[in-house]
A = this chain, B = another copy of it.
C-alpha cells in the first residue's frame, strides 16, 4: 500500500482481502492449477459464499448494489492482491469480462436490461461474455468489423464470426459488437447488442485451445458464429452507432484493472523468486540467493514493479480526478509498460526456478503461458506506442500521415 494512495477505507478493507487470498486460495493453489473449471466449480462457489459473508463481494460496486463502494484507485490496490494466485478475482466477482459488462450495463443499460441481465450477473448467478475480436481482422485496428446486425422489423439479424470471446462457454449472454450502419463514419457504425447464448443463432464453434490448454467455462476463449441470429431491438445497449463510444468508456478503467492484476502477479513472482533463491542450495553454504545475477534480477524486478504500481495508481487517480480524456496518454503508457514488466519478471522468476518453473506444478508456468497475451489483447504494444507518440507529437504540429 503506497501511503499517498491510501485511505481509511482501504486500510480497513485490504487486510480482509489479504486474509481471504492467504487463507482460502493460496493453500489450494496446486489444486486450482491442475483442475479444470467445471470440476472446480462447486469449490469456487463455496469460496464465493465466503467472500459474500466477509463483505468483500464485488467491492467496486456502490454499497446499495451490494459492493463496498471502493473508488477505482482503492479497488486497484485490492485487485493487485487478488492477482497473487488463480481465481482471486473470480471469487469476488471481479473477473473480466463480467466486471466490464457490469459497469457497462450499470451505466448504460435500460431498466429491463438491468433487471434481466445485470442483477443476476452482480449476484454471481450467471456469467457473461464480450464478443468483439474477429479472426479475419486485425485486433490492432478495431474499427474494421465484418459482423453485421441488420434491422428487420423489431429485430436485429446478426451475422458474423468472432473469436477470443472469453468465457462464452457457460455464459448466459454475450454482448456483441456489430455493424449497424456500414455507411456511417468509422467510429459511428457499430453498436453493442445483448445476445442470450441460448439463442439458436448463437453458435459456439469451439473453445480455442490456447497455450496448451483446451479451456473450459470461465477459462475459455471461444469462437462464435452468429448465424442469422435474431434478437429484439430492445437488446441494444445505448443508442445505435454508440458501440465504439461505449467500448471507449470501458477502456480506461479496464486497463487499470488489467495492469493492477499484472502487478499483483509480478509481485507474487518476485516473492517466489526470493523464496526459491533463499532455499535452493548450490552446494556447500552457497544459496542461489548469493549469486549476483539472481540479485540483479530481484533488484531490477523490485524497482520496475514499484515503478509500474506508481504509474497505474497515478493513472487511476487521474481518471477519477481529471477524467479519461485527460488521462489518455497515461492509459496508453501503462498498458504496454506494465505488460512488458510482467513478462520480464515472469521470465526471470522461471529462470530462478529452473526446470521446476516449467512444470505445471508451478503457477509461474501458467502465467508465463497465459500472460504472454498481455502484450497483445486490448491493443498490442505497438499500437499503444504509436498512439501515445502521435498524441504527444500533435503538440509539435505533427498530423497523422
A residues engaging B (CB < 8 A)?
Answer: 2-5, 34, 133, 135, 138-141, 143-144, 163-164, 208-213, 274-275, 277-278, 280-283, 285-296, 298-300, 302-304, 306-308, 310-311, 314, 317-318, 321-322, 329-330, 332-334, 336-337, 350-351, 354-361, 365-366, 368-369, 372-373, 375-377, 380-382, 384-386, 388-390, 392-393, 395-398, 401
Known: A210-B365, A211-B360. A398 touches B138 (CB 8 A): no
B-chain residues with CB within 8 Å of residue A280 when the two chains form the complex: 138
B-chain residues with CB within 8 Å of residue A278 when the two chains form the complex: 393, 396-398
Complex alpha-carbon distance, A329 and B298, angstroms: 12
* CB-based contact A376/B360 at 8 Å: no
Q: Looking at the complex, which one of B144, B163, B386 makes contact with A299 (CB distance below 8 Å)?
A: B386
* CB-based contact A398/B293 at 8 Å: no
* CB-based contact A275/B396 at 8 Å: yes
Of all chain B residues, which has the CB nearest A382? B293
Of all chain B residues, which has the CB nearest A329? B302
Complex alpha-carbon distance, A211 and B368, angstroms: 9
* CB-based contact B282/A138 at 8 Å: yes
Of all chain B residues, which has the CB nearest A2? B314
How distant is A164 from chain B, measured CB to nearest CB, in Å? Answer: 5
B-chain residues with CB within 8 Å of residue A299 when the two chains form the complex: 332-333, 336, 384-386, 388-389, 392
Q: Can you report 5 residue pairs joining A to B where beta carbons are below 8 Å apart? A: A140-B282, A143-B283, A211-B212, A278-B396, A358-B376
Of all chain B residues, which has the CB nearest A337? B303
Q: How many copies, total? A: 4
Complex alpha-carbon distance, A303 and B308, angstroms: 10
Q: Looking at the complex, which one of B5, B211, B281, B285 makes contact with A365 (CB distance below 8 Å)?
A: B211
* CB-based contact B310/A314 at 8 Å: yes
* CB-based contact A4/B333 at 8 Å: no
* CB-based contact B351/A380 at 8 Å: yes
How distant is A77 from chain B, measured CB to nearest CB, in Å? Answer: 15
* CB-based contact A376/B354 at 8 Å: yes
B-chain residues with CB within 8 Å of residue A395 when the two chains form the complex: 274
Known: A210-B365, A302-B329. A292 touches B289 (CB 8 A): no
Complex alpha-carbon distance, A336 and B149, angstroms: 50
* CB-based contact A141/B282 at 8 Å: yes
How distant is A87 from chain B, measured CB to nearest CB, in Å? Answer: 17
* CB-based contact A385/B355 at 8 Å: no
Known: A368-B372, A388-B302, A401-B290. A393 touches B311 (CB 8 A): no
Known: A211-B365, A396-B274. A295 touches B354 (CB 8 A): no
B-chain residues with CB within 8 Å of residue A381 when the two chains form the complex: 351
How distant is A163 from chain B, measured CB to nearest CB, in Å? Answer: 8
B-chain residues with CB within 8 Å of residue A143 when the two chains form the complex: 283
Complex alpha-carbon distance, A282 and B282, angstroms: 24
* CB-based contact A211/B369 at 8 Å: yes
How distant is A29 from chain B, measured CB to nearest CB, in Å? Answer: 15
- Most interface-central of A141, A321, A322 (chain B CB within 10 A): A141
Of all chain B residues, which has the CB nearest A143? B283
Q: Looking at the complex, which one of B210, B351, B360 makes contact with A359 (CB distance below 8 Å)?
A: B210
